Chains A and B, each alone.
Chain A
Amino acid sequence: MTPVPAGAPLVEVTGLHISFGDVRAVDGLSFTLQPGAALGVVGESGSGKSASAYALLGLHRGTGARVSGTIRVAGIDVNAASDAELRSLRGGLAAMVFQDPLSSLDPYYTIGDQIAEVYRVHKGGSRRAARARAITVLDRVGIPDAARKSRSRPHEFSGGMRQRALIAMALACEPRLLIADEPTTALDVTVQAQILDLLHDLRRDEGLGLLLVTHDVGVAAESVDEVLVMRAGREVERGPVGPVLASPREPYTKALLSAVPRLSPALPSVTPGALPRTPFAPEGGSSSNAGRAEDPAHPGADRGAGNGATSHARSAAVPSPRRLPGRGGVGEASAAGGDVVIEAVGLSKSFGRGRAAFDAVDGVDLHVRRGETLGIVGESGSGKTTLGRMLVGLLEPSAGHVTRSGDVQMVFQDPVSSLNPRRSIGESVADPLRAAGERDDTRIRARVAELLARVGLDPDRYDGYPHEFSGGQRQRVGIARALAAEPKLIVCDEPVSALDVTTQAQVTALLAELQRELGLALVFVAHDLAVVRQVSDRVAVMRRGRIVEEGEVDVVYGAPKDPYTRQLLAAVPSLDPALAAVRRAARREEAHVAAA
């Protein structure tokens, strides 16, 4: 292996260009990473961040992608290196952790064997020694009973465990650089926090350099010293993570940051242990503005700055029935039955039969009033999507019943599959009209044009097909289709989780605006606590099919009663690196307490 001269950077990239056919993915990128340092590459989809990370290991070689510029990693010139040199770099000096830990491991071999195989490729030695090394690294990444677990295959692990196993594989040959490509994107927020904490500890203890590629500014804030914001294959802004996030220089960075939904606008400094109970808003939550005051820690995240759409999004993304004319406080309305649009009592759904049966939703009671937004938040497997589908009637409940006082529609998560690819978007929007028996094409076209305009799309694009639209536009089409049926309630199932953060803000703003104007009731199902906070009046926290806590957003987020809610809130990455460190300490404390 090539020795690295003392003081030389671990990674040095100069004038990197990558193109796939006619598409320029990366366009003149340069950066350096010192040994033991951590750099976060942040950008929205299509910014070229992953392609850049792959280039560090020469993974574009032989794929038809054109790579130019110089890349030096641990002293090896990646573009000029021979295949053998490149192989010694890959996994030996620099190791990579991927997004989807399940598909990134070979399903046919045990975890231990896969790690041992990688170890022997680089370090040689006996099978026995390699197995022992595998167990050591599995133990190091916090897999309990590592010797036994090393004989399991990937599918026998949970998502978080798999990601730990992949990190263990990365550690096997004691590399000097860890490249993590969206390492927590496929994970739940509590698991994400654990993995980020693990990466943090590994850096500290092993002196690893870290290159973290992520779309999530919060994840970067938690984990790196320096951040590089990318857009369309170019660097937008680079610098130490604190200053860049606190006072970004570039308009794009500002827009990006202002679009990131905040868990809480005001988070005073907290002491470990007391953190979750710290109220975010004045007691009683009587003032909706107080809870949404500017974050003093982020003066740069000014809503007046950035582009118009996002700033509009920010202010509009706080719908509240209290702002509707002629409406009293929420407390008064809660007793009144006349305004309830949907009510579910003892709602349950079980799947499977016999011993394989499990309750996806287990005895849920809820109601939503006109003009109100109920947020339903939970991690994967909490039953939130099943609940949403039962509310609209796509799934029959196993027990309990739903009472609806009008038509109920749904906005779906996936902007790709939610529209029939063979039908023009106008026809998709017209679908409920045609189903209702409307035959007159002129009337249909007029109504669809009206709806398209209503959701901010060009009404003349009736005949356009879904593939001609962006993800955010397709979500707008989905919303227009839902509106066509003139529903009383729309259930939004993760409506923004597939979208980039700036688009997210625009879509939530649209939903809020529609709600205000049409007096719609909304159920907003999501895994993202911050998004739910921004859009909801009330929130229900789900875990294992049950609602563990329900109440006014400010109360639930400000003074969570259930330990699980507290755990969830503590796991959400913060945009402030200093705060992130404090919360990391708090999490560690909590883990100790839980273990004791």
Chain B
Amino acid sequence: MSEALLTTGAGVTTPAPGGRLFWRRLRAQRAVTAAAAVFALLVLVALAAPLLTALEGQNPNAYHPALVDSASGGVPIGSFGGISGEHWLGVEPQTGRDLFARIVYGARVSLGVAFVATLIQVALGVGLGLFAALGGRWADQIVSRVTDVAAALPMLVITLGLLAVAPASIPRPVLITLIIAGLGWFGTSKIVRAGALSLKTLDHVSAARLSGWGTWAIARRELLPALAAPVITYAVLLVPSNVVAEAALSFLGVGIKPPTPSWGQMLTDANTWYQAAPTYLLLPAGLLFITVLSLTMIGEGVRTALDPRAASRLRVGTRNQNKPTGPIESLEEKAS
């Protein structure tokens, strides 16, 4: 699983550029603009899935046994996996279900799960991170221990365990979303905690305390605005990581179950068909790659646009004034 590289609160003490400058810096990166366009197209396809399949005149779950060669075990009849005017991308081996329809509906599941999971992760991470940083020593201890345990739980391992015992009444996409979110919040909480702790030592936060603001007013007025940049940067990179997580679970056969289509789940079957029906493999694999790549590029672009140090990294004698806070935090800082 490509766990997105962590960035801790390294940049939180320096102001990030304001909104307009941020957009300008983001748009100045041509590759990022291109990636954003590709990704927007993918989202559009996912949203318009019913429309597109209606246009094609197919249904993602309809079997077409006539279109596969039962003698060879179900290889689609026709060239390139049975591509035709009716079936724009051919059909699935064995079942003959329409590939285009499954791909566009699969986009809904893959992207939807990733997005919602990211939102939950960020909400949990920000809440728990602030709680750890501001709630006193015990709060910090508890959150840190829970984080340790959650981090030591290999995500796939615990997902396998949970899925095996979760009640069947919960729809699989919801369950997968919750699992991914529940096991992936601690990156955000680490960033928020480290950022809040270092911001807390700043004089303007002390001044706010002396002005008479309470802890949560300070969190809202002084900390959160400063934490927005690192959290957004990290969150944008969480989306591709969640896309991969869902695909991995589905690939292992414990994620999205047929007949609901998802790209990762399509890959599972494709594994055995790559010689006879290569399009069946290449379509979901390629789309996964493009999705993750475009999201990663957007994430990188956002990071660059928000990074106050972006332009001034390589001057002689630039002092590195951030002394390492702890072994792992500083390691992760370097990953930025």
Contact = CB atoms under 8 A, between A and B. Distances in A.
State yes or no: do A and B touch (Cβ within 8 Å). Answer: yes
Interface of A: 54, 59-60, 63, 100, 103, 389, 392-394, 408-410, 412-414, 417-422, 428, 431-432, 434-436, 467, 478, 481, 485
Contacts of B209: 394
Interface string B243-257: 000000000000000
B211 A435 contact: yes
Contact of A431 (B13, B207, B226): B207
A392 B319 CA distance: 32
B225 A431 contact: no
B225 A412 contact: no
Interface string B173-210: 00000000000000000000000000000111011111
Interface string B203-234: 11011111111000100001001100000000
Interface of B: 13-15, 202-204, 206-213, 217, 222, 225-226, 315-317, 319-320
A485 B211 contact: yes
Nearest to B212: A435
B211 A410 contact: no
A431 B206 contact: no
A446 B117 CA distance: 48
Contacts of B222: 420
A115 B13 CA distance: 36
A394 B213 CA distance: 12
Given A63-B316, A103-B320, A422-B15, A485 B210 contact: yes
11 contacts: A54-B317, A60-B316, A393-B210, A410-B206, A414-B203, A431-B211, A432-B212, A435-B208, A435-B211, A467-B15, A481-B211
B207 A422 contact: no
B157 to A, nearest CB: 37
- Indicate the member of B209, B210, B212, B226 with the most A CB atoms within 10 Å: B210
A432 B15 CA distance: 22
B226 A422 contact: yes
Nearest to B202: A417
Contact of A392 (B15, B210, B226, B315): B210
Given A435-B213, A436-B212, A412 B203 contact: yes
Contact of B210 (A394, A428, A436): A394
A389 B207 CA distance: 11
A60 B315 CA distance: 10
Contacts of B208: 420, 431, 435
- Indicate the member of A54, A103, A408, A420 with the most B CB atoms within 10 Å: A420
A478 B204 CA distance: 9
Which 10 residue pairs across A and B have the least CB separation, nearest first?
A: A421-B15, A412-B203, A418-B203, A435-B212, A432-B211, A435-B211, A420-B204, A417-B202, A431-B211, A63-B316
Nearest to A64: B315
A63 B315 contact: yes
Contacts of B217: 435
Contact of A412 (B13, B206, B316): B206
B328 to A, nearest CB: 18
Contacts of B206: 389, 394, 410, 412
Nearest to A98: B317
A59 B208 CA distance: 43
Given A60-B316, A103-B319, A103-B320, A417 B203 contact: yes
Given A414-B203, A418-B202, 6 more contacts: A63-B316, A435-B211, A435-B217, A467-B15, A485-B210, A485-B212
A410 B320 contact: no
A159 to B, nearest CB: 14
A432 B202 CA distance: 17
A478 B217 CA distance: 20
A98 to B, nearest CB: 9
B316 A428 contact: no
